[in-house]
Amino acid sequence: MAVSILALLIVGVGWVSAGRAAGPDIRIRQPGDFIGQDTTLDLAVEAPDGLLSALDVTVEQGGTSFPVYSLNAPLNEGATQDSAESLYVMRPIGRSAIADLRTGDARIVVRAARPVLYGFRQAESVVTKDVQVRLESPQVTVLSTFHYVNHGGAELVVYRVAPDDVTSGVRVGEQTYPGYPGSAAGLAGDAGVRVAFFALLHDQDLATPIEVVAEDPAGNTTAVPLDHRVFPKAFARSRITIDDRFLSRVIPAMAAANPDLNLATAPEALADSFLRVNRDLRRQNNQTLVELAGRTASEMFWRDAFQPLGNASVEAGFADYRTYLHDGEEIDQQVHLGFDLAVTAQVPITAAQRGRVLHAGNLGIYGTAVVLDHGLGVQSLYAHLSSVEVAPDELVDKGAVIGRSGMTGLAAGDHLHFTVLLQGQAVNPVEWWDPKWIQDRVLRKLDEAGRVR
Ligand SMILES: [Zn+2]
């Protein structure tokens, strides 16, 4: 008798504590605050040994409950067992999956249970998330007119988005150029106005589609083809002879400036080291320029043409397709993306435009270099300097001395290598030096959109 009372007591204590046991751990990882046309639910559920007796996901709106997932068929697809403890569920949760979803408030409800006390009881947990359903695609209206794009060059578009919390920009083939609020370029008023510089890069096809694109926080997208005209440009081709005198000066200096490359400097290894620099290091440095572009300011620091370096003669044009020769053999081909301006040694190098210093120091093939940010994704690069006279984050005026000319990096002699970059991609600097181009392609459009002077 006493034994059975004790046994009942133990079962009773077990029953009560099992009722208090924690249910499975539920984390709704996606969506964020919005559901759109094609939103995906991303859910993680954790329970000891991965044992679940129930998992049901619904979207509730206006008194209706739409089933999204259940451990029981037919809604049990889209789940993966990630580890012994956790289960991931990926299910479409947008309007394309739930046809009766309407614009407005909704709630995601996740109910999970696991067996406790040998399956006699269930430990349950429920997690809900309030979301907003947005189904309309963003609207994009192009405001600026006459979009003329030179191959290898840049262009500006002014457009309006609605609603104004969308992210937007210009997509040119694989490249996307973000749009910035009109206020960043001095346009007052309308919160939906955006400005974006974009480019048709030297290596892109003339027929590359150019579209103004927008995406709202619910993932709804719009792409509007941009009415434009493209002008072909002939790019130069040249042959450059790499001699041993050049290699024996440049490679040891580059090995010292870039110790992490472990460049071989023995006389017989110089040609191979040159190829590593000309290919791998060039690619790596150009990637750095793209990363630096991510730090551009949402403010256009300038309102007039860029300033060319005084009395320098142009040695090489933009996008020069170069074949490199060594001992009479073709050893490499690269596109030279910038302007080489001949100068004598130690000439003061001035900022082409007002901007903030993003980089001042070694930049691989570019040697000692300065990168200035002019805002809205526009940057300028000054390479092969012997010294710099500015520091990162400093705001410099147009014409201010930023360093002295030299022949550091991959340079055959004293010259300034100058490039204008758009989101880290080299564009033809000649346009930016030209007051007429700045007026027609940039300032006219800002004026027509109501620029405050
Ligand atoms: Zn150059």
pLDDT digit string (tens) for 431-453? 999 999 999 999 999 999 987 65
Distance 418 CA to ligand 1 centre (A): 7
Give a three-class secondary structure readout of 3-66: HHHHHHHHHHHHHHHHHHCCCCEEEEEECCCEECCCCEEEEEEECHHHCCCEEEEEEEECCEEE
Q: What count of other Cβ atoms lies within 10 Å of the Cβ of residue 357? A: 19
- Within this chain, do residues 351 and 413 fall inside the same structural domain, yes or no? yes
Segment 308-321 mean pLDDT: 75
Coil vs helix vs strand at 436: helix
Backbone angles phi, psi at 46, to 5 degrees: -120, 135
* 303 and 219 co-located in one domain: no
> What is the Å distance from ligand 1's center to 392 Cα?
23
What is each CA distance from 222 to 45, 159, 449, in whole angstroms? Answer: 34, 13, 22
**β-sheet with 329-336: strand ranges across:** 237-241, 320-326, 329-336
Residue 33: burial class (beta carbons within 10 Å; 0-12, 13-18, 19+): exposed
Assigned domain for 116 exists = yes
Same domain assignment for residues 219 and 265: no
Q: Based on the domain organization, do 271 and 392 belong to the same domain? A: yes
211 and 242 share one domain: no
Type of residue numbered 344: T
Q: How many Å apart are CA 27 and CA 42, to the nearest integer?
A: 9
| Alpha helical stretches, state H, 112-215 | none
Are residue 417 and residue 351 in the same domain, yes or no? Answer: yes
Quickly list DSSP for 213-243.
EEE-TT--EEEEEPP-EEE--PPPEEEEE--
Same domain, 340 and 371: yes
Candidates 265, 268, 284; CA nearest to 366 is 284
Of 360, 399, 401, residue with least CA distance to 383? 360
* CATH code at position 176: 2.60.40.10
Q: Is residue 3 part of a domain?
A: no
| Residue range(s) defining the domain that contains residue 361 | 237-427
Rounded Cα distance between 339 and 318, Å, is 6
Average pLDDT over all residues of the chain: 90
Q: Find the CATH number of the domain harbouring 388.
A: 2.70.70.10
Residue 378: name the closest of 436, 340, 424 by CA: 424
pLDDT at 13 over 60: no
Among candidate residues 106, 133, 160, the one where a domain is terminated: 133
Is residue 4 situated within a structural domain? no
Residue 124 within a domain: yes
| Res. 15 pLDDT band, cuts 50 70 90 | low
Q: To the nearest whole percent, how much of the chain has pLDDT over 90?
A: 72
Same domain, 97 and 222: no
CA of 340 to the centre of ligand 1 (A): 5
Considering only residues 42 and 413, tell me which one the structure prediction assigns the higher pLDDT: 42
Ligand 1 geometric centre to CA of 336 (Å): 6
- Assigned domain for 375 exists: yes
Q: Retrieve residue 195's tokens.
A: 């400005």
Q: Do residues 197 and 271 both lie within one domain?
A: no
User: What's the CA-to-centroid distance between 228 and ligand 1, angstroms?
Assistant: 31
Long-range own/partner contacts, residues 247-254 (CB < 8 A, 24 or more apart): 247/271, 247/273, 247/274, 250/274, 250/410, 250/411, 251/277, 253/408, 254/281, 254/364, 254/365, 254/409, 254/410
Cα(338) to centroid of ligand 1, in Å? 6
Determine the average pLDDT of the residues in 47-76.
88
In this prediction, residue 341 carries a pLDDT of 83
For the entire predicted model, the pTM comes to 0.85
Calculate how far, in angstroms, residue 301's C-alpha sits from the geometric centre of ligand 1.
26
| Residue 381 pLDDT > 90 | yes
What digits encode the pLDDT tens for the residues 131-144? 999 999 999 999 99
Q: Are residue 248 and residue 372 in the same domain, yes or no?
A: yes
State how beta strands 395-396 and 193-199 pair.
unpaired
Q: Does residue 121 form part of some domain? A: yes
Using the mean position of ligand 1's atoms as its centre, give its distance from the Cα of residue 267 in Å. 25
- pLDDT one-digit tens code per residue, 182-212: 999 999 878 999 999 999 999 999 999 999 9
Report the CATH number at residue 117. Answer: 2.60.40.2550
Encoded tokens for 452: 């405050």
Residue 114 lies in a domain: yes
Backbone angles phi, psi at 300, to 5 degrees: -80, 110
Element containing residue 419 per DSSP (H, E): strand 415-422
pLDDT digits 0-9 by tens, 238-248: 898 988 889 99
Q: For residues 164 and 113, what is the distance between their CA atoms, to the nearest angstrom? A: 42
Q: Residue 130 above 60 pLDDT? A: yes
Which residues, other chains included, contact 142 with Cβ-Cβ below 8 Å and sequence gap of 6+?
A: 157, 158, 159, 212, 224, 226, 227
Q: Tell me which of 118 and 142 has the higher pLDDT.
A: 142
Q: Which residue has the higher pLDDT, 123 or 75?
A: 123
Kindly give the distance from the C-alpha atom of residue 179 to the centroid of ligand 1, in angstroms, as a whole number.
30
The alpha carbon of 27 and the centre of ligand 1 are apart by a number of angstroms equal to 53
Domain count, the chain: 3
Do the domain assignments include residue 435? no
Q: What is the pLDDT of residue 1?
A: 45
